[in-house]
Amino acid sequence: MIDGISPETLAALERAALPDFPRWQQMITATGGCAHPIRLVGRRLTFTNSLDVIDSYRTADEPTGYLLTACGNRRASRCPACSATYRDDTYHLILSGLRGGKGVPDDITAHPRVFATFTAPSFGPVHRRREAGGKTLPCRPRRDHPLCPHGRPLWCRVPHSADDSQVGQPLCGDCYDYFGAVLWNAHAGLLWRTFTRTLPVALAGLAGLSRAALRACLRPSFAKVAEYQARGLVHFHAVIRLDGPDGPTSPPPAWATTGLLADAIRIAAGAVQLPIDDPNPDDPPRLLRWGGQLDVAPVHLGAGLDGVSDQRVASYVAKYATKGAEASGTVDRPIRTLRDVAYLDVTEHARRMIYTCFLLGDLAAYRAVPLRRWAHMLGYGGHFSTKSRHYSTTLASLRHARAAYRAEQSGHRRTTHDPDSGTYITVQEWRFAGSGLRRGEAHWAEIARERIATARHIQRERLKNNRP
């Protein structure tokens, strides 16, 4: 033991002294400083039609004996590095759909677009944070101090701070409609899809056109992200844009204004109703709908005006794309058995949502939604971020471009091959050889991650200052 040096630092120094360290460090940098990198062994051979080998790579030739790849987890709670990458990609994906670039023409800025937030309805009063003019207000002040049928107060005078764990918890868990809340989450994705099918109907109605006539001149496109509220229900934030019939490359007709789009969104959201079987077969079906609060704001280039700036929208969406349900006090991985639920480190509200998922998951009526599998997500099993085909580039193509760049930087791909110049055949075989960081490696992975984070920050600041 060396005086004054922590065991972690010592382990990090020991790791750095091993002969494979320089190469390992290149690889961990190529993963972005992933916290749970995957070790692969295997080889790849690229040859031409006439069997000339143009590239050969074997992990057996690596000083490490393996190749590292990033875990790719989207969630910040699981891998800070991979989630930062995901967030960055989502940011660029959203921004290019608003400002052009990455295959989207620059005059996309002239297309009407809004940023809309779709909320869940209320399933019972919860503790909430209220604010006005920078001042925190009492949660639910009531002069008459009413009590619920269980004798619990239906009022609360506490001014809850943003990090108060009470926020989102029901005033009475026995009054709260857990069936309704879980069923809503479980069908929120379907509610969204129904909305996207209803929007063209609303647009056609406002324009006085048939559906076919509308399709011939106008096409809405979307990018949406799910956000968990403290009360454990999902919200959707969506960029909705109007294009001409061929997508981003064609202008929408002049009558298709931002105001018309906002009106159509309100009409379509209000019209969506999904009848879902009640857990009690004797009761009538429940009608699932959006909550009464629907925000629709025009998106502007840069800040100011009575809307939101394109950059804020992009960062907002990107931020939520890397969050899971854990923001609402649940866990970030599946729960295997009902017995485990009692021991989870979750809020009481989340625990009851999870129990309800297990309970409803057994009923034949909800066979279409795997509620047990989605229990840790409090019933929502949909995607965290989705976009329609014409919105902008795809995450996969951004990922491809980056992987190729990093592979070249780390020297792992020796020949760049141009897919247009001829046919190459690549044969590869890879085997999983373990995952996670080993002794002394976390320190260096964190340094790699921080370096990339700094570079990313500088790049984003530069982008911000390039504003017209």
What residues are paired with 425 via a beta bridge? 47
**Residue 182 CB neighbour total at 10 angstroms:** 32
CB of 213 to Zn ion, least distance (A): 49
Least distance from Zn ion to the Cβ atom of residue 76, Å: 11
CB closer to Zn ion, 108 vs 156: 156
What is each CA distance from 237 to 31, 114, 309, 313, 384, in whole angstroms? 30, 10, 15, 9, 10
- Which residue, 82 or 341, is less far from Zn ion as judged by CB? 82
Which residues contribute to the site for Zn ion (CB under 5 A)?
A: 34, 70-71, 79, 82, 127, 139, 148, 150, 156, 158, 172, 174-175
Helix axes 441-465, 7-17, angle to 10 degrees: 90
Which is nearer to Zn ion, 176 or 316 (by Cβ)? 176
CB-based contacts of 398: which residues, under 8 Å, 6+ apart? Answer: 89, 92, 93, 102
SS3 of residue 58 by DSSP:
strand
What is the CA angle 224-77-344, rounded to 5?
A: 105
Q: DSSP letter at 107? A: G
CB of 236 to Zn ion, least distance (A): 26
Taking the least distance from each CB to Zn ion, the nearer of 108 and 139 is: 139
Instruction: Tell me how far, at minimum, the Cβ of 153 lies from Zn ion, in Å.
Output: 10
User: CB neighbours (10 Å) of residue 434?
Assistant: 11
Residue type for position 358: F
Q: Which is nearer to Zn ion, 134 or 149 (CB)?
A: 149
Which has the closest alpha carbon to 75: 445, 380, 323?
323
Which CB, 31 or 46, lies closer to Zn ion?
31
Report the C-alpha gap between 182 and 178 in whole angstroms.
Answer: 6
End-to-end CA distance of the chain: 58
Rounded Cα–Cα distance for residues 120 and 123 (Å): 9
- Round to whole Å and give the CA distance between 220 and 241: 6
Instruction: Please give the Cα distance from 172 to 170 (Å, whole number).
Output: 5
Find the shortest distance in angstroms from Cβ 177 to Zn ion: 11
CB of 152: closest distance to Zn ion in angstroms? 5
Q: Which is nearer to Zn ion, 79 or 204 (CB)?
A: 79
Whole-number minimum distance, CB 88 to Zn ion, in Å?
13
Q: How far is the CB of 126 from Zn ion (least distance, A)?
A: 8
Of 175 and 274, the one with the shorter C-beta distance to Zn ion is: 175
